[in-house]
Amino acid sequence: GAVVSQHPSRVICKSGTSVKIECRSLDFQATTMFWYRQFPKQSLMLMATSNEGSKATYEQGVEKDKFLINHASLTLSTLTVTSAHPEDSSFYICSAPGPAAAGELFFGEGSRLTVL
């Protein structure tokens, strides 16, 4: 099956710093990728849709300037949490649609961000 790799898996940073999370499709091209956020024991909440070659589409209530998304190539999307604060601590997980038209989403391993 298709593989999506996410890095780093864990990151701890000081308040005020920026953190970049990478999401790569390893064996297929992904013109679209999705970024989700998950708090403990809760559901995955869609943050934004990353589009190769164009601006990301953000869900209502998600700060564009806070969560910068760049889809640099057909296999790489990045999420940068700018000026991170403790309330940004969460599990961030990316996904990409598989090759089939109505197929599943393939997920990265997720990144656990802790802001001190």
Partner 1 sequence: AQKITQTQPGMFVQEKEAVTLDCTYDTSDPSYGLFWYKQPSSGEMIFLIYQGSYDQQNATEGRYSLNFQKARKSANLVISASQLGDSAMYFCAMREGLSGSGNTGKLIFGQGTTLQVKP
Chain positions contacting partner 1, by CB under 8 A:
32, 34, 41-46, 49, 91, 93, 95, 97, 101-107, 109-110, 112
The pair of structure tokens assigned to 27 is 């064996």
If the CB atoms of residues 82 and 109 are measured against partner 1, the closer one turns out to be 109
Distance CA 31, CA 77 (A): 10
Tokens of residue 29, six digits: 């091209």
Residue 42's SS3 state is coil
Reported as half-sphere exposure (CB side, CA atoms, 13 A), residue 94 has a value of 31
**Is the Cβ of residue 82 or residue 107 nearer to partner 1 in the bound state?**
107
The least distance separating partner 1 from the CB of residue 31, rounded to whole angstroms, comes to: 10
CA angle in degrees (0–180, nearest 5) for 108-70-98: 40
